[in-house]
Amino acid sequence: MKFWDGFFSNLESKSFLLREESVEKKMHSKLPHIGTTIFTVMSKLAEDEGAINLSQGFPGFGADSELLELVGKYTLKGYNQYPPMAGILGLRLKLAEKTQLTQGYFPDPEREVTIVSGATEALFAAASAVVRKGDEVIVLEPAYDSYEPAITLNGGKPIYVPLNEQDFSPDWERIKKAITDKTRAIFVNSPHNPSGYVWTKSDLDELAQVIRGREIFVISDEVYEHITFDGKKHHSIGYHPELREKTFVCGSFGKTFHVTGWKIGYCIAPPEMTTEFRKIHQYLTFTTVTPMQYALAEYLEKPDRYLSIPDFYQKKRDLFNSGLSQTDFQFRSSAGSFFQLVNYGHLSKMPDRELATRMTKELKVACIPVSVFYSDKKDNQVLRFCFAKEESELLEALDRLKDLNRILA
């Protein structure tokens, strides 16, 4: 027995040492410079402070009751098991028909349309399909924060190119200079988050000219496709026949129909690109919640349900901007998305993150500091507000913002 007592004692001692060595080994993060997103941080702060949350980009109102009833209908009918990996054909067909109506081309529902679990998945899967170790990928900034991790985790290197500061339009001369033999892809976003800039036909022509004759793919974030104002039309990158052959168009049903928590998006791309995209998609999420796909397919049968969205949001933008004009902020009205930027540089040089935090705590209105959209955290004293809220909430927030000088004094 003494032998076995000694054996197990020695074994336990060695096991303890191994555990100690394991604890001492540090986790080598693949994204060492990335923490919790500012959107989560500011929403949490708004909740803690009892502030009106105009920071994170989600609607402050519910979806159409008819859409919700359709979800119940298909859930009760038993549509609760795995759907096809690419999404149910009925939804892919309705999406293709919507694309034909709004953009003038009909993607093949079988070979060019994939339903995914949110546009963020679509963007990541698209990057994973084409970006290899050592590739360079152009990012136009200020840019949404999910682009850089999608590039880095696939071994690529983001090349940041600033948009024009006045209106956030693409700076084509800078983009041309950023192109090298290593350039593999470019991320584009229209309507743009955070600025609301909407790409023009001329922008599409310029992009086509820049990548013509080169093996450069386009990953196009178009989640705000139906939220444009003042008669501006959203031109999908897929609208351009030449660009269509090189583009992953990534969209969102959640943003369009006020159901961001459903996390349902899509990707439209040429057949050979879709094949590679689906290889990634099937091992990220495989598929997307079934009854909601059937509900969306039926809901899309009436085009007015998405064609009316620009007017719906323009009323909110106009209401919000009318109130902003009574504050000391300076701004240019957003042309798209449900965001409005404001500048306070003429009033103070306080860092935007500090001001956003103080506004949340002292004025009880939360927003996003725009410096977080830049790779170098460039601070132009600009804040972003989300106006996808109920009218009463917007009016109350505007009333509180009139006390801005109390913080800046």
pLDDT tens figures, 138-177: 999 999 999 999 999 999 999 999 999 999 999 999 999 9
> Which pLDDT score is estimated for 33?
86
With vertex at residue 250, the alpha carbon angle to CA 178 and CA 191, rounded to the nearest 5 degrees, is 70
Cα separation, 323 vs 365, in Å, equals 14
> Which pLDDT score is estimated for 143?
98
What is the helix, strand, coil percentage profile of the chain, to 5? 45, 15, 40
Q: Which residues pair with 221 in a beta bridge?
A: 189, 250
Q: Tell which residue, 269, 271, 197, has the closest CA to residue 227.
A: 197
Burial label, 365 (beta-carbon count in 10 A; 0-12, 13-18, 19+):
buried
Q: What are phi and psi of 368, to 5 degrees?
A: -115, 130
**Using only C-alpha atoms, what is the Rg of the chain?**
24
**Strands (DSSP E) along 240-386, which ranges?**
247-252, 265-268, 339-343, 365-366, 368-369, 382-386
Strands 157-162 and 136-141: parallel
Name residues of the chain where pLDDT drops below 50. Answer: 3, 7-8, 16-18, 20-24
> Which pLDDT score is estimated for 20?
45
* Mean pLDDT value across the chain: 94
Sheet holding 382-386, edge to edge: 339-343, 382-386, 368-369
Half-sphere exposure of 316 (CA within 13 A, CB side): 25
> Which pLDDT score is estimated for 23?
42
> Which pLDDT score is estimated for 380?
97
First CA to last CA across the chain, in angstroms?
80
pLDDT in tens, 5-56: 554 455 555 554 445 444 445 788 999 888 889 999 999 999 999 999 999 9
Structure pTM? 0.93
With vertex at residue 118, the alpha carbon angle to CA 386 and CA 35, rounded to the nearest 5 degrees, is 65
Q: Which residues pair with 386 in a beta bridge?
A: 339
> Which pLDDT score is estimated for 27?
80
Question: DSSP character for 294?
Answer: H
Half-sphere exposure of 400 (CA within 13 A, CB side): 20
* Residue 212 Cα to chain centre, angstroms: 27
